[in-house]
Homo-oligomer: A and B are copies of this chain.
Amino acid sequence: MATSEEVARLAGVSRATVSRVLNGSPRISEEARRRVYEAIEALGYEPDIVAQSLVRQRSRTLALGLFDESNGLSLTQLGLTAHYFYIDMLRYIEQEAMAQGYDLLLPSRPKGTYPENYIRSLRIRRVAGAVMLAVGVEDPRVHALLQAGIPTVFLDTMGLGSSAVYVRSDHLDGARQVTEHLLSLGHRRIAFLPGPAGNMVAMERLLGGQQAMAQAGIAVDPGLIFSSGWNVEEAYQAVCHLLEQRRDWTALVAGSDLMALGALRALHERGLRVPDDVSLTGFDDVVLSQYMTPPLTTVRQDRARMGKEAVQRLVALIEGKEHVAPLIVPTQLVVRASTAPVRPQV
């Protein structure tokens, strides 16, 4: 690997000049610029990123913090069905990071006491900022990041501070839309499986459903609200449980597409047909939802916009911009074949 020293020598200038040319310094003679570029070309030179990071006191690297650390490593959780939605968002984060010239880093897990060491691990790597995806508000990193003043963008989590913003979907409105859709099909006795109890996102998705029901003058039956983890398995079991207790409902609003998949299996096992006997809806619009049998009616989250805007906001924070505003991204109902008009009472 050539160094700036060699480039300077070949171009007949100093290392300072080479550096200035590369960093777009204003006062450089055309002659010098030309010679430097020729030398760079001839030597195939590219500045050492590590050396740059050291002297600039900051790398062009964004730390990726995915999911709750308490539940294990980042990528580890990517494989959990509970997180399928985020797999797809990562691509947009990567895309925009690349566009802005930032590397993405999964820092080796720090040992020892948690929040302090996490911050320190980012500091000693000189990361420019952090993208936190689907970490719970109670995750110790949230507070630590806000406190440390490390530029951070939170996805879904509502972290906010002088150096942090969030980007999230309008979960409530999405839930309202899908519930209104069911109401318009004549469903009145609707069961809800919004997600984990106490989880903010699950709560909003439930609330949206309740609002739609209220607007139609219908009260949600508390006995038809079940909570479970975000994954297939727990949703499956929750629906099995529900089915053992009651069958007097005609539609089920699941908190995610993968939960709907679990529900689908439970319904299927009991000989209930979707949408003939029960209408079923999901949330997220993961790729798979159109390959379920039947294809799933769901709510699309605009991952592309979320990922892109998240990185753009993070870069703004890194560059010291003020008043970087959080963003709520609209959601959209996607009607497929898992919902149908309620059957006339027999």
| Interface residues in chain A, defined as those with a beta carbon under 8 Å from any beta carbon in chain B | 1, 44, 46-51, 53-54, 59-61, 73-81, 87-88, 90-91, 93-95, 97-98, 101-109, 116, 120-121, 123-126, 232, 236, 261-262, 264-265, 268, 287-288, 291, 293
- For A287, what are the chain B residues with a Cβ–Cβ distance below 8 Å? 79-81, 232
- For A61, what are the chain B residues with a Cβ–Cβ distance below 8 Å? 105
Is B116 in contact with A108, judged by CB distance below 8 angstroms? no
Is A125 in contact with B79, judged by CB distance below 8 angstroms? no
A94's contact among B59, B75, B88, B94, by CB below 8 Å, is which? B75
- For A78, what are the chain B residues with a Cβ–Cβ distance below 8 Å? 78, 87, 90-91
Is A125 in contact with B50, judged by CB distance below 8 angstroms? yes
Please measure, in the bound complex, the distance between the C-alpha atom of A106 and the C-alpha atom of B47, giving whole angstroms.
18
Quick one: closest B residue to A98, CB to CB?
B109
Is B54 in contact with A73, judged by CB distance below 8 angstroms? no
A116's contact among B1, B44, B60, B107, by CB below 8 Å, is which? B44
Is B73 in contact with A79, judged by CB distance below 8 angstroms? no
Chain A interface mostly: helix
Is A81 in contact with B288, judged by CB distance below 8 angstroms? yes
Minimum CB–CB distance for A297 against chain B, Å: 17
Is A91 in contact with B103, judged by CB distance below 8 angstroms? no
- For A73, what are the chain B residues with a Cβ–Cβ distance below 8 Å? 91, 94-95, 98
Is B124 in contact with A48, judged by CB distance below 8 angstroms? yes
A107's contact among B103, B107, B262, B291, by CB below 8 Å, is which? B103
Is B232 in contact with A291, judged by CB distance below 8 angstroms? yes
- For A51, what are the chain B residues with a Cβ–Cβ distance below 8 Å? 54
Can you give 29 contacting A-B residue pairs, CB < 8 Å? Answer: A1-B120, A1-B124, A44-B116, A44-B120, A48-B124, A50-B50, A50-B59, A50-B124, A50-B126, A73-B94, A73-B95, A75-B93, A76-B94, A76-B95, A77-B91, A78-B90, A79-B287, A98-B109, A103-B105, A103-B106, A103-B125, A105-B106, A232-B288, A236-B291, A261-B288, A261-B291, A264-B293, A288-B288, A293-B293
